[in-house]
Chains A and B, each alone.
Chain A
Amino acid sequence: MLDWLKNIGKDYPDFWKDYVFKFEHPSHRKVALYLETTGINPSKDRIISIGAVAIENGQILLEDSLEIELDKKEILENKDLTYSEIKAIESLINFIGNATLIGHRIHYDIEILNEYLHKLQSGRIKNDLLDIEVMHGKIIDQLNKQYPFLEILNSYKVDAPDITTSANYAFSIAMVYLKMKNRLGLK
């Protein structure tokens, strides 16, 4: 009966239709996400690189990972989205699907992603979100404090990556998440 609601977005791009369609089924997949951006202002700042890795059944699957690095110079020179940026966002949306997203201060990432999606005539990110900063606060029962990313890595004895790429940061987020989830009693 409510099928017409879906058809409202008829002029959405194809990747977005696929994305929305995936939400018909629930998901156990989780994706650790790290975006490298030029800043935290969603309307002005741009994504430079993307790293993401999937977690299923409490295991990090290295083959199920995404790593995109964009040409920073090209992005800063162009006011509009470049072709490679559009491709990058599309493959990211394809990759995350209906998985739960995990990140550090993930709402910034989502805001900036939503801005991009808006420019691509698409809707807003619909995934469930988990923020390791909030999770850490819950574990040590001090929610109103801020915890920098490296500090969190340190307190769970996860080594900060030697090669500092977004993908490696995403990998670290995934490892921290595995260590956290049992302490919080998550499945």
Chain B
Amino acid sequence: MKDSISETVANFLKDFKPFSFLNFEELKVIAKKIRVIHLNKNESLFKINDSLHDYFYVVNSGVVHLTVISDAEETLLNKCYIGDVFGLRPFFAKNNYQMTAKANEESMLYAVPIDVFKPFVSQNSEVLNFLLQSFAQNSTNPTDKINQELISDSVQFIEFQNDLSFFQTLNYNRKPLIVEHNQTIREVAIAMSDNLLDNAFVKETDTVIGIVTDADFRLKVATGKHAIHSHIDKIMTYPVITVTENISLAEAQLVMLSHKVHHLCVTLDGTAHTEIKGVITQNDLVEAQANSPGVLLKEIKRSGTAQQLKSIRYALADIIQQAVTKNIPLQHIFNVSGEITLSIIRRSIEIAILELGSPPVPFAFFSIGSQGRKEQLLLTDYDNFLVYHDVDIQKNRIVKDYFSQLTKRINEILEKIGYKHCEYNHNAHNLQWCKSLSEWIKQYENWINTPGEYTNEHCSIFFDFEFVYGDQNIESEITEAIFSIKNKTLFFDYLGNDALRKPAPLNFFKKFNEEDNGTFNIKAKAIDQLVDIGRLLAFHHGLKGVNNSFYRYKELAIKDADNAEIYLNAADVFLQVSRLRTLEGLKNDNIGIFIDIENLSKSDKEKLKESLHVLKDLEEIVKDTFQLTQFS
């Protein structure tokens, strides 16, 4: 009898690990026993401490979130997309589930019976390895996330959520160099150089008796104390500190500190008399903490491809997610993420320049919009422009050509990293935004002196620029040019009108102005207006050097003491709505514009409503300060 359903299912499975290790006939046998489960949005499949199911699951469509409750707060561990495998716990452990699996959108799952799959696991070592890795995988390692799409199921990781970096297992060199005690120093040194290692273990009849490191060679050989043809055991350091295989980061750190050593020898049972399994160096510890912002910055400088930068951007997303859920002040997160994003962009430009050769004249690259204000936490669109020094007319064409190629390449790289194209084409690749300095100054003068001439241009975001790369003098020249224009009344009035034309967040009945599908567009109806009014007032009061909405309102409170209370309130509200948006965006992997009002708690809802009243007050200030009638 034919069986086309199993064939269809097997066809789906064969593209995904671990099923890709099996042949089609085997997959058909498995597919025959599969059950298909449907989950509604927000329906959970299993919860923490539920007894184990007889199945593990493969996502067929939709997204499933794996979460844990820590400190009475739901923390997102992982998102499972099409083809991801989760719920592997029954393979390896007998106790109950340690996490909750919940559908973030309507999902279809294939439930694979453990009993049916087990024989294939024992027969096929690749499958077993994959499952073990998936189970123990620590999801904080961003490169693996891209390469393998593994879903963490590890227990340690869950229980020590708060200090997860300390309890992750270490990656270390599992093939250390081992030499005999009667080899000469020279031989060992050559072997170490060949293997690009800074250490080697010395053994005598299968027991480790010592370790030699670069330092030993420096202190004992180069100083002339020992000749290079004497035996290696003359200069080795002993005894070697040995540890067991599955040591955690925290433990390894402690052992190193208490013994004042830089290398640990990993053996089978943690004593010196068993087989050597590997070596842990201090460098491994640093790498294990790779998710701290400082290390990320370093890594950005070292990366040479868009792919590497992309994995760093993933790591940044993890940091942001952890920081936001742990109530670290949003302002601080803005700063950190702004710095890291800045260096990612800088590095992208450097990569592009390396490919195209050095530029013919000095230039400067600017970020505008949200990154220009350092308010970008999610992977939203990235707007930018480029200014180059004025050149002779003869050379103009070559120069223009070079920069158009350069900007094209830069934006290609950024797109690969994950930054979307701006829908209004506000990036330097657009020839309109890649011009010489004098043209730019003219452009700004135009915007200020004859506002509203290009009615559908969002020219206001060009006033939130941040210097990224190149010649810093260009930045100061543009800023000078903008602030030296005397009569800006018309421009202010135009901006004021623009700011007030945004849709109101609350309707006449003090209800949220929802979209058709019951969500609230927090960007268009709250954030945009806060940003616009903040920018306008900052210009009006001549605030230089503050591009961030939060700081703008704080500064305004000092400059304009009459309305100080409103400004301070606005600064807080800005952080609050940004936080909401970021959380929503991280949860759903989008840019978080649409907040699901239904899912907010009642107190959150009221708080949000209450805080949005500040927009009305700000509008009043704008109306009082500027003559709005000219444009309306």
Contact = CB atoms under 8 A, between A and B. Distances in A.
A62 B35 contact: yes
B38 A62 contact: no
Contact of B7 (A163, A170, A175): A163
B1 A168 contact: no
B250 interface: no
Contact of B1 (A67, A171, A179): A67
Given A59-B111, A60-B37, 15 more contacts: A58-B38, A59-B36, A63-B32, A65-B3, A67-B3, A157-B61, A161-B4, A162-B11, A165-B2, A167-B5, A168-B4, A168-B8, A171-B8, A175-B38, A179-B106
Interface in B112-165: none
A115 interface: no
Nearest to A66: B1
A171 B5 contact: yes
Nearest to B33: A63
Nearest to A183: B40
A67 B5 contact: yes
Interface in A139-187: 157, 161-163, 165, 167-168, 170-171, 174-175, 178-179, 182
B442 to A, nearest CB: 51
Interface string B8-28: 110100000000000000000
B4 A62 contact: no
Interface of B: 1-9, 11, 31-38, 40, 61, 106, 108, 111
Contact of B4 (A59, A165, A179): A165
Interface of A: 51, 53, 58-63, 65, 67-69, 157, 161-163, 165, 167-168, 170-171, 174-175, 178-179, 182
Contact of A175 (B3, B11, B40, B108): B108
Contacts of B6: 62
A67 B4 contact: yes
26 contacts: A51-B4, A53-B5, A58-B37, A59-B111, A60-B35, A62-B6, A62-B9, A62-B31, A65-B3, A65-B5, A67-B2, A67-B3, A67-B4, A163-B4, A163-B8, A167-B3, A167-B5, A168-B4, A168-B8, A171-B5, A171-B8, A175-B36, A175-B108, A178-B36, A178-B38, A178-B108
Contacts of A174: 36
B549 to A, nearest CB: 39
B102 to A, nearest CB: 15
A59 B34 CA distance: 10
A167 B32 CA distance: 13
A152 B2 CA distance: 26
Contacts of B5: 51, 53, 62, 65, 67, 167-168, 170-171
